[in-house]
Copies of this chain bind each other. A is one copy, B any other.
Amino acid sequence: MTRVRIDLFSSLDGYSSSIDQTAGMGEDWGRLTQAYAATRTFRRQVLGDTSGAGTTGLDDAHAAAHSVGVGAEIMGAAMFGLHSFPDDPDWRGWWGENPPFGTPVYVLTHTAPRPSIPMQGGTTFHFRNDAIETVLAEASAAAQGADVRVGGGLRVARQFLRAGLVDDLHVMIAPILLDRGARLWDDLRGLERTHEVRTEVAESGTIHVTFTRQAA
């Protein structure tokens, strides 16, 4: 059964970002993601570090789970880079010729449609100017029983959350107070009534909160 998943970072005071770095948070971004970037999984998967270095505790377990079982990805235009390079029809994303997705990736855009871009490693970028429910239906079909991950940015993630479309939300809360940035939790009152909440603390002090909708 396909589930819709989101992973986000947040400070203790609820200033957040998705896993991409399009939010322009400066040094706060590094502090939010510090524990994640220290994991063995991140070092191996993102940095290509095969030495086995990195943390192996709860932070790493969540980092490893992040990329397992995903059959399709949805992201916003900013995360793909369309806002940064609006006039470049040949822009192919930030990730080089072999992006780390390995699945169809649906890019939400309000601009003129672009042709799909097949990349190496199983990633194909599709551009859709449709309602999020419509794009989700297409992504779900493409996922062929695996999960759909909403990768970000935060604004897109919050659109899906507010629409009640997310089955699994995982938030990594760094125990720091930022007092500025984009707010994660607004307009989500009562999410704990539709989803089961689990709270955990990693060795790094990071709080992991997961909201899980029970399968019908």
Contacts and interface: CB of A to CB of B under 8 A. Distances in A.
Given A13-B14, A14-B13, A14-B14, A177 B189 contact: yes
A192 B207 contact: no
A201 interface: yes
Copies of this chain held together in the complex: 2
B12 A209 contact: yes
B178 A189 contact: yes
Interface of A: 12-14, 175-180, 184-192, 197-201, 205-207, 209
Contacts of A14: 13-14, 185
A184 B177 CA distance: 11
Contact of A197 (B175, B186, B200, B209): B175
Contact of A201 (B12, B175, B180, B201): B201
A158 to B, nearest CB: 13
Given A197-B205, A198-B205, A180 B189 contact: yes
A177 B190 contact: yes
Contacts of A185: 12-14, 177, 179
A197 B12 CA distance: 11
Contacts of A192: 175-177
